Structure 1
Amino acid sequence: MSTPSGPTGSRERIVFSDGSTADLVRKEDGWAIEMGGVAQSHLGDPAQPPRLASIRWMLAALGDRPPRRVAHLGGALLALPRALAHRWPSATQTVVELEPALVELARSRFPLPDGITMKTAEARSWLEAHPGSDHDAIVIDVFVGNRIPPAFTSLECMTAARDALSEDGRLILNSVAGPELLFTRRELATLRTLFEHVAMIVQGSALAGARFGNATLIASAAPLDTEVIQAALAGDPSKGALVTDLDPIVDGAEPIHDADELWSPEPNLPDASAALRLLEQARQAVSTLRPASD
């Protein structure tokens, strides 16, 4: 893969169509896009485990069955599609990205592997225009700043995703969990309205409310290969674990609808004293992260 050159730590400003900016930063092990000092995407050697835990979790969530067709809503540096292309070169992947600056960056500076097509389009509209498209997996990884916009949190969006999946296809969401779990609970409730099998990869500390972090949500009409996903997570330094017993988490939460216009919450890391007070809750959450079978 041909990539831009530059010394470690060098930065290049990226200006988005709405006037906001990010930095393309040279790292020792690749390149990263940073916004407000937070890495939004990292691109390294596709033969190595992705640097960001959220990408490793989504890769684990795909299981071990080679997919024929995959759609990714949201692009950035295409860390997940590139890792997937390395693992399964025969897969046909479509990446839908609205921001022209990111599309140009991916196409001209970080050439796409074979099998990946990138489209400049609004991802929700693209999804709704492809019912019956028989995808083995659809990945929703759309953030505006550090938040998921309402168009990608709702029942209507998840219905469009379900309609674009094959009979046993899998929907994977890069989502969040943190001190205020209501959003996560409602997103899980939304998925369970549409899919028989739903699970979540999360850290115990985030599930207990001790910190704000990522959560990978997985949904399918077919049973999930939970043992395969658990094996892929085993030994991961993030300590993410698969949760399949969702009843205590959802706990009567209502599904999200377009009319709610619900964004994911602002990232919020508690201070050290709050984390200490919640330590016991984190320990109790370990029992929720027990191995389970469908």
Structure 2
Amino acid sequence: MTRAVDFGTAKLMPDTDRPRAWLLTVEGAPQSYVDLDAPAHLEFEYARRIAHVLDTAAASAESARAGAGPDVLHLGGGALSLPRHVAATRPGARQTVVEADRALLRLVTEHLPLPPDSGIELHAADARAWLESAPPAACDLLVADVFGGSRVPSHLTSVEYARAAARVLRPGGVYTANLADAAPFGFLRSQLATLGTVFEHLCLIAEPAVLRGRRFGNTILAASREELPVAELARRCAADPFPARVEHGGALARLTAGAAVVRDGETAPSPVPPEGAFSIG
């Protein structure tokens, strides 16, 4: 199924091995994989790594609030694979999804509907505009997985954006972002420097081949004003089918050294992936 959406051409392609599973691409770049019969399943490795951050942070939030489910804000929706996963694994969670592509939201909700009791609210809006109008301390977890095609939009890369994200998080809340880059990591290093001016604690999750500069790929950044559970994250990521490393502390400081903080007026989107890096078909 192919349909024009607000920011390109979207395709929903069935998985022949799973009767109710679908892959969503936009402009040829894979965006989401959803199995309606197994909503907790995450096909993409980067999504599994975000889920590890969410799961450890949600457990802390629930502990702090006597078992109450976490409030999660997702910037970027795709086919809603991460919100579906959270709803399946933490039924008490309250989730808000902000997706700028209204036509994409219609396509997804029409063909891959959410369960009526999912606890997921959908909003068609620009991610930064939503953040700047949202009440402070409104969520425990914030996931930024926003791509225009295969690039992070430039207005979501500045220190002003980072401050807006931090404002909506509760004390101890965790921000996590999906970023894509390759050596020499100009974009990634600038994002680490930028987020580091707002959040005291950072860690980076990526496959060793990406960190060694052998290929372009996704990296997951987690940030908080309180210490992150890096040991638990490292254990979970090392046990994945495609293991990843968790960099923090001195290793992350060395990677970030000399990188400039990005401010509004100086922003640029993430780099164009090499041909074939993410595209399908």
- Tell me the TM-score normalized by structure 2: 0.87
Q: Distance in 2 between matches of 1:104 and 1:152?
A: 24
Name 1:13's counterpart in structure 2. Answer: 2
1:140-289 matches, cutoff 5 A: 140-245=144-249, 246-268=252-274
Residue 26 of structure 1: which of 4, 11, 14 is its match? 14
| Partner-residue secondary structure (3-state), 1:32 | strand
Query: What CA deviation, in whole Å up to 9, does each residue of 1:167-200 have, x standing for no partner?
Result: 1100000111313301100100111111111001
Q: Distance in 1 between matches of 2:144 and 2:238?
A: 24
How many residues are aligned here? 259
Instruction: Tell me if the contact between 1:131 and 1:160 (Cα under 8 Å) persists in the aligned partners.
Output: no
Q: Does 1:139 align with 2:143?
A: yes
Structure 2: tracts of 5 or more residues without a match: 63-68
Instruction: Tell me if the contact between 2:174 and 2:224 (Cα under 8 Å) persists in the aligned partners.
Output: yes
Identity of aligned residues (%): 34
RCO greater where, 1 or 2, for CA within 8 Å and sep 6 or more?
A: 2
Structure 1: tracts of 5 or more residues without a match: 1-11, 272-294
Q: Does 1:43 align with 2:31?
A: no
| Partner-residue secondary structure (3-state), 1:187 | helix
Q: Distance in 1 between matches of 2:276 and 2:258?
A: 26
| Partner-residue secondary structure (3-state), 2:49 | helix
Q: Does 1:62 align with 2:54?
A: yes
Instruction: Tell me if the contact between 1:168 and 1:220 (Cα under 8 Å) persists in the aligned partners.
Output: yes
In the TM superposition, residue 261 of structure 1 has moved relative to its aligned partner by 2.4
In the TM superposition, residue 229 of structure 1 has moved relative to its aligned partner by 1.4
Q: Distance in 2 between matches of 1:55 and 1:46?
A: 15
Q: Distance in 2 between matches of 1:138 and 1:149?
A: 17
Query: What CA deviation, in whole Å up to 9, does each residue of 1:68-96 have, x standing for no partner?
Result: 21100100101111101111010000000
The structure having more radius of gyration, on CA atoms, is 1
Query: What CA deviation, in whole Å up to 9, does each residue of 1:9-37 have, x standing for no partner?
Result: xxx1121124x212110112310112454
Q: Distance in 2 between matches of 1:16 and 1:119?
A: 16
Structure 1 runs of 4+ aligned residues shifted over 4 Å read: none
One-letter amino acid of the counterpart of residue 10, structure 2: A
One-letter amino acid of the counterpart of residue 93, structure 1: Q
